[in-house]
Amino acid sequence: MEAKKRITELFGIEYPIVQGGMIWCSGWELASAVSNAGGLGLIGSGSMYPEVLRDHIRKCKQATDKPFGVNVPLLYPDIEQHLQILVDEGVKIVFTSAGNPAKYTGWLKERGMTVVHVVANTKFAKKCVDAGVDAIVAEGFEAGGHNGREETTTMCLIPMIVDCVTVPVIAAGGIGCGRTMAAAMCLGAAGVQVGSRFAASTESSAHVHFKAQILAAVEGSTELTLKEITPVRLLKNPFYEAVMAAYEAGADAEALKSLLGRGRAKRGMFEGDMVEGELEIGQISARLDRMETAAEIVEDMMRGYKAIAENSSFFQY
C-alpha cells in the first residue's frame, strides 16, 4: 500500500497535486506555473494542432526546470503526430485519456516515458494495468468535461479502483482544496488531479468570460449531459438549454451531434462566447468564488491538507 502511494517519487514533484490537462485552459503558462509551485503541470494537447503543441512544450521547458507532462486524448485525429512530438521534445510524463490504454502505452514506455491513463470505471482501470501504465487517474461523476457513463462518484469510485489495481491511483472529480485532497487520500488515492480550480486561475488560457462564469457557478449550475454522444459535464448556458430543447423534441444521437457541431468548446472556453459556446467544467465550480494564481492554489491546498494530516485530534469523535 505504502509503495503505491508515492506519486511524488514517480513524477519527481514536491506535492501530490496534478493539474488536469484541460482543453483550452492549460497551455504552457498554467502547466509551468503549477510545476514551479511544486505540483505537476500538464499541457492539454486536446485543443492543439501539432505545431501549437510543440510550441507549448518548448515554452514550458523554458518556463520551468521542474517536471511537467502532457495530456493526450487518444481519440485525437493527429494522435500519432502528437505522440511523436512528445518523443522529439523529450517530454517525460504523458497522461492519456479517452481511448484504449493498450494501444500506445507500450510504445511510450519503450521511449522512456512515465505513462498515466484516465479512467472512470474498474474495467478500464484493469486494462490500464494490463497495458503497463505507471499510474491511473480515476475520475468521478462530479468532474468537468468528458466522463464515464456509469455516473460513479469520486466517493464510490476511488476505493473500488484502488482495490482492483496495483499502481498508484490519482483521484479526480470534486477535488480542489485541502479537505477534499485529504478525503481522497483516505479513500486510498496516492494524489489528486485538480481541474476546475486551475481552469479559473490567473494563468489559465480560458477566456476571462468563461473564468467569470466558473466563479459565478452555484449548486446545480453544471450537468452531465449528451450521454448519447460522449457524456460531458457542462455549465448550464443558452447552448445547454438548446441541447435540453433538442432532447425535449426527441432528438437522436445524430441530431445532437449536428447541434453540437464542431468548435463549440473553443468558442465558449477560449473565445468567450457564453451563449453559443460549450463550457466544460466540474461541479466544484460551485465552491469557487475568486481568481487565484496557480501558486496560491497549490499553497492553499497544501495548507488545508496539512491542517488535517498533521492534527491527530482531527479524527476524534
List of residues contacting a copy of itself (CB under 8 A): 2, 5-8, 15-16, 121-123, 140-142, 149-157, 159-160, 173-175, 177, 179-180, 182-188, 190-191, 219-220, 223-224, 250, 283-284, 286-287, 305, 308-310, 312-317
Residue 247 CB, nearest approach to a copy of itself (Å): 10
Identity of residue 72? V
Residues 146, 231: Cα–Cα separation, whole Å:
6
The CA angle 231-237-238, to the nearest 5 degrees, is: 105
What single string gives the DSSP state of each residue in 199-246? Answer: HTSTT--S-HHHHHHHHH--TTSEEEE-TTT--EEEE-SHHHHHHHHH
CB of 300 to a copy of itself, least distance (A): 13
From the CB of 121, what's the least distance to a copy of itself, in Å?
5
The nearest distance, CB 302 to a copy of itself, in angstroms, is: 10
Q: Of the two residues 20 and 27, which places its CB atom closer to a copy of itself in the complex?
A: 20
The two beta strands, 222-225 and 232-235, are antiparallel
Q: How many of the other CB atoms lie within 10 Å of CB of 219?
A: 9
Q: Which is nearer to a copy of itself, 207 or 233 (CB)?
A: 233
* 244 versus 275: smaller Cβ distance to a copy of itself: 244
Task: Tell me how far apart the alpha carbons of residues 64 and 186 are, in angstroms, rounded to a whole number.
Answer: 31
SS3 29: helix
Cβ neighbors of 41 (< 8 A, separation 6 or more) are 19, 26, 30, 31, 32, 33, 34, 35, 60, 64, 68, 69, 294
Smallest gap, in angstroms, from Cβ of residue 185 to a copy of itself?
6
* Partners of residue 65 on adjacent β-strands: none
Please state the three-class secondary structure of 145-199 as a single string: EECCCCCCCHHHHHHHHHHHCCCCEEEECCCCCHHHHHHHHHCCCCEEEECHHHH
Shortest spacing between CB 20 and a copy of itself, in angstroms:
15
Comparison of 84 and 311: residue with beta carbon closer to a copy of itself = 311
Give the nearer residue to a copy of itself in terms of CB position, either 186 or 245.
186
**Of residues 60 and 170, the one with the C-beta less far from a copy of itself:** 170
The residue among 57 and 298 lying less far from a copy of itself, judged by its C-beta, is: 298
Structure-block grid coordinates of residue 224 = 452531465
* Residue placing its CB nearer to a copy of itself in the complex, 59 or 247: 247
Nearest distance from residue 256's CB to a copy of itself, in Å? 15
Q: Say whether 288 sits in a helix, a strand or coil.
A: coil
As measured in angstroms, the least distance from the Cβ of 234 to a copy of itself is: 13
